[in-house]
Amino acid sequence: MKIYLNGKLVPKGQAAVSVFDHGLLYGDGVFEGIRFYAGRVFRLDDHVDRLYRSARAIALTIPMTPDELSLAVLETIRANGLQDGYVRLVVTRGEGSLGLSPKSCPNPTVFIIASTITLYPDEMYQRGLKLVTCATRRIAHGALSPMVKSLNYLNNIMAKIEAEQAGAGEGLMLNEQGYVAECTGDNVFVVRDGRIVTPPIAAGALAGVTRAVVFELARSLGIDIREENITRYDIYTADECFLTGTAAEIIPAVELDARLIHDGKPGPVTLRLTGLFRELTRTTGTPIG
Ligand code: PXG
C-alpha cells in the first residue's frame, strides 16, 4: 500500500507522522472520507470544498490548492491500483512544540490513504439498522461548530460506544435542546406521508455530501423534502427512517429505542432512493485516470 504524505507517495511502513504532530497531540486538524466506485471518485469537489471550509474555520492553511489536492487524491488511488474503495484525506496542524498554540506548527501535515471500507454487513442494508438514542449530546455550536469535520471525534466516539453497548447499529445524537441532530457518523432522515424531513444543519448536523445527494434525488423524483427540527417522537412515529453517509451510503433504520419504526421493514421511499443512489455512484464522478 502506498500512502500520500506531504507531497510524496511512500510505502505504508514509512508513512509516519511525528509524535509532536498537533493532529495527534490535540486532535488539531480536519479530514474527509471519500468514496470511489468503478474508477470514478464520487463528489470529489464537494469533499475537497468541505475540507477547505473546515480548515478555514479552524484557521488552518492547507499548503496546496484545492486542484492540487484533488490531483493528489487521484494519484494516490492510481498508485494503489484500486477501482472501488474509500479515501481518507487528512490535514493536521503539523509538527510543533508541546503547548496548544498552533504558532509552533509552521508546516501542516497532509496525508491521503486509499483503501476499502465496509461499515455494515449486506444483511443490514436488507433488514435495516437498529438505533438507540445516546446520552452523549452532539457538540454545541458554541463549543466547536459541528460543521467542521475536525479530528476531534471523541464526542461521536463516546456516542458510538453507547450504541455498541446497547447492541445497536448506530446511535442517534440529540443537540442540547433535545432535537435530533444526526447519528454518530451519518445524517438521519424520516419519511412521513410521502414527505422526507431531515434536521437542519443548525440543529447540529454535518452538511453531509450524501445528505445533499438525497436532496437532489428526492427533488428529481418530485418528492417533497425539507429541513425541519425533529424529535425522537418523529422517528418513533415515522413511516420510514434512513441514514446517509459516505461510508454507509443510504441505509434503512427500522428501530429506535426498541420501538419498531412503522412495520420494522425498510420502506419504499428508502428503497427507491437507495437504487438511484447506487446508479449515480456507478455512473458519475471524477475519473481516476
Ligand atoms: N455526520 C457525521 C458526524 C459524519 O462524520 C456524516 C454525517 C455523513 O457525511 P457524508 O459527507 O459522508 O455524507 C459524517 C461522515 C465512520 C465514519 O467510520 C463516518 C464519517 C466519517 C469518517 C468515519 O463511521 N462520516
- pLDDT tens-place values along the chain, 289 residues long: 999 999 999 999 999 999 999 999 999 999 999 999 999 999 999 999 999 999 999 999 999 999 999 999 999 999 999 999 999 999 999 999 999 999 999 999 999 999 998 878 989 999 999 999 999 999 999 999 999 999 999 999 999 999 999 999 999 999 999 999 999 999 999 999 999 999 999 999 999 999 999 999 999 999 999 999 999 999 999 999 999 999 999 999 999 999 999 999 999 999 999 999 999 999 999 999 9
Catalytic residue among 12, 149, 160, 265: 149
| Ligand 1 geometric centre to CA of 156 (Å) | 10
Nearest atom, ligand 1, residue 213 CA: 13
| Ligand 1 geometric centre to CA of 11 (Å) | 27
Nearest CA to ligand 1 atom 3: 185
202 lines ligand 1 (CB under 6 A): no
245 lines ligand 1 (CB under 6 A): yes
CATH topology of domain 2-115: D-amino Acid Aminotransferase; Chain A, domain 1 (3.30.470)
- This prediction's pTM: 0.96
Q: Quick one: pLDDT at residue 117?
A: 84
DSSP-based three-state secondary structure for 193: coil
247 lines ligand 1 (CB under 6 A): yes
Name the segment(s) of the chain with CATH classification 3.20.10.10.
Answer: 122-283
Rg (CA), the chain: 19
54 lines ligand 1 (CB under 6 A): no
Nearest atom, ligand 1, residue 149 CA: 5
Nearest CA to ligand 1 atom 9: 208
**Do 8 and 96 meet the contact criterion of CB atoms below 8 Å apart?**
no
For residue 100, give the nearest of 54, 141, 136, 59 by alpha carbon.
59
Name the segment(s) of the chain with CATH classification 3.30.470.10.
Answer: 2-115
Superfamily grouping for domain 122-283: D-amino Acid Aminotransferase, subunit A, domain 2 (3.20.10.10)
Tell me the CB-side half-sphere exposure of residue 8, using CA atoms within 13 A: 6
8 counts as catalytic: no
Tell me the CB-side half-sphere exposure of residue 110, using CA atoms within 13 A: 24
Mutate to test the pocket of ligand 1, among 246, 251, 280 (most ligand atoms within 8 A of CB): 246
* CA distances (Å), origin 237, targets 115, 140, 183: 39, 27, 18
Nearest CA to ligand 1 atom 14: 185
The alpha carbon dihedral of 7, 12, 18, 24 has a sign of: positive
| Ligand 1 geometric centre to CA of 72 (Å) | 21
Q: Which three cell numbers stand for residue 86?
A: 474509500
Q: Quick one: pLDDT at residue 118?
A: 83
**Do 136 and 155 meet the contact criterion of CB atoms below 8 Å apart?**
yes
